[in-house]
């Protein structure tokens, strides 16, 4: 049997089903740690495929097993995340989110659909490969501590033990039809920074009678950038960003309190620890020198994502076999983060990108924006390649 030809034929036949599944998920998004209806929908789909599975793993996660011949010989895993973002969708489509303020703006509806599609074809092919394929539908990727860490704590990588794992993510910077891989270090660690500056509010015309929290906070925002520009190794990418500055004052009112929120991103664990201490010393020092009290909390987030060199190079070759060399690209480091990184610390892993844009059709909005959408033909490639990579991992 020509497995590749069978997969390519089936994704063409099932394309309308993939679109239907994705649009259902897109219309009914759920935030991190709230994915109960999504979990139930996935469970219904797996039941229709006669795939045994567990629900409520690590929250609202779902874990299924497809057993081929000699199922105890090897187990590999495929992972998709399923949570949405707190964004009000602004697209003009028939499948716009029906939940106010919640949207699949990071493509997790696509990831879930692609894994369901791969599961369907792999179930059809189970007499043609050896080993077991574990399907991991993961909640809460978008929010620390991350659904990956929770599922791992509940044993998702065991019983049976997973030897390798693969995940994919939509990539609007890449045209539909192409995929991207990066061996080795790929995505940054992420920590969340929360700063509260407490001073003495008062009349904006009488700043001498106040401890100006807005001024103190502004000094902190500017000075934080010097940690990266003057303390970090310039050969090691680092980012400190303050994305939220909240001071409930007015044109003539200095507030008693200002809150800042931001993120720290890097790739080196030692520097990550050092940077946290530098942030602490800096914000406390500025506050003290300007007469304010500063409370700092840094929430430890995901580690850097490390794609296994050998597995990723193999996956690149397999992807070239499936899609053609011209459609497989090598991509650079990204300062974005992913809790798939937790899996990469346990077993050889490969996390790759799926092109989803179609600029000629006006589909090119970035991730995490209210107009994000995909060229839905990308799902044929997403389903087909994930199916192919699973079978190739099992040595078939």
Active-site residue (options: 30, 83, 212, 306): 83
8 Å CB contact between 151 and 136: yes
141 in catalytic set = yes
- State how far the alpha carbon of 299 is from the alpha carbons of 148, 193, 194, 195, 264, in Å: 17, 6, 8, 11, 10
Distance CA(11)–CA(165), nearest Å, equals 22
| Catalytic-residue membership of 268 | no
Burial 247-260 (b: 16+ CB within 10 A, else e): bebeeeebbbbbbb
Find the DSSP H helices in 73-173. 108-124, 147-153
Cis status of the peptide bond prior to 273, with omega within 30 of 0: no
Q: Which of 35, 89, 109, 141 is catalytic?
A: 141
Q: Which residue from 83, 88, 92, 85 is spatially nearest to 61, judged by alpha carbons?
A: 83
- Cα–Cα distance, 98 to 88 (Å, whole number): 10
**CA–CA separation, 134 vs 3, rounded Å?**
20
The length of the chain in residues reads: 396
Residues designated as active site: 83, 141
């Amino acid at each position: 049997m020509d497995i590749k030809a069978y997969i390519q034929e089936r994704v063409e036949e099932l394309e309308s089903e993939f679109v239907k599944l994705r649009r259902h998920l897109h219309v009914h998004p759920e935030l991190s740690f709230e994915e109960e209806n999504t979990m139930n929908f996935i469970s219904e789909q797996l039941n229709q495929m006669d795939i045994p599975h567990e629900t409520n793993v690590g929250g609202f996660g779902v874990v299924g097993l497809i057993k081929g011949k000699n199922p105890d010989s090897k187990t590999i895993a495929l992972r998709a995340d399923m949570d949405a973002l707190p964004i009000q969708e602004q697209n003009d489509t028939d499948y716009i989110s029906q939940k106010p303020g919640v949207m699949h703006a990071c493509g997790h509806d696509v990831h879930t659909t692609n894994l369901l599609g791969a599961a369907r074809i792999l179930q059809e092919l189970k007499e043609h490969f050896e080993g077991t394929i574990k399907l991991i539908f993961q909640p809460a990727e978008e929010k620390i501590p991350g659904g990956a860490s929770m599922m791992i704590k509940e044993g998702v990588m065991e019983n049976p033990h997973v030897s390798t794992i693969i995940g994919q993510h939509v990539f609007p910077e890449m045209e539909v039809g192409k995929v991207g891989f990066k061996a080795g270090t790929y995505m940054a660690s992420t920590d969340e920074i929360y700063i509260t500056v407490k001073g003495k509010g008062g009349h904006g015309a009488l700043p001498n009678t106040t401890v100006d929290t807005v001024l103190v906070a502004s000094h902190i925002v500017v000075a934080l950038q010097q940690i990266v520009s003057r303390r970090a190794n310039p050969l090691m990418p680092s980012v400190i960003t303050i994305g939220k500055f909240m001071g409930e004052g007015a044109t003539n009112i200095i507030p008693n309190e200002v809150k800042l929120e931001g993120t720290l991103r890097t790739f080196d664990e030692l520097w990550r620890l050092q940077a946290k201490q530098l942030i602490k010393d800096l914000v406390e020092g500025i506050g003290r020198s300007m007469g304010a009290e500063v409370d700092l909390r840094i929430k430890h987030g995901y580690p850097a994502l490390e794609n296994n060199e050998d597995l990723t190079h193999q996956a690149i070759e397999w992807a070239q076999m499936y899609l053609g060399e011209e459609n497989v690209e090598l991509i650079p480091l990204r300062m974005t983060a992913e809790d798939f990184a937790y899996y990469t610390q346990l077993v050889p892993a490969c996390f790759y990108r799926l092109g989803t844009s179609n600029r000629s059709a006006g589909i090119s909005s970035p991730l995490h924006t209210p107009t994000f959408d995909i060229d839905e033909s990308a799902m044929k490639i997403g389903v087909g390649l994930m199916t192919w990579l699973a079978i190739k991992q099992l040595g078939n």
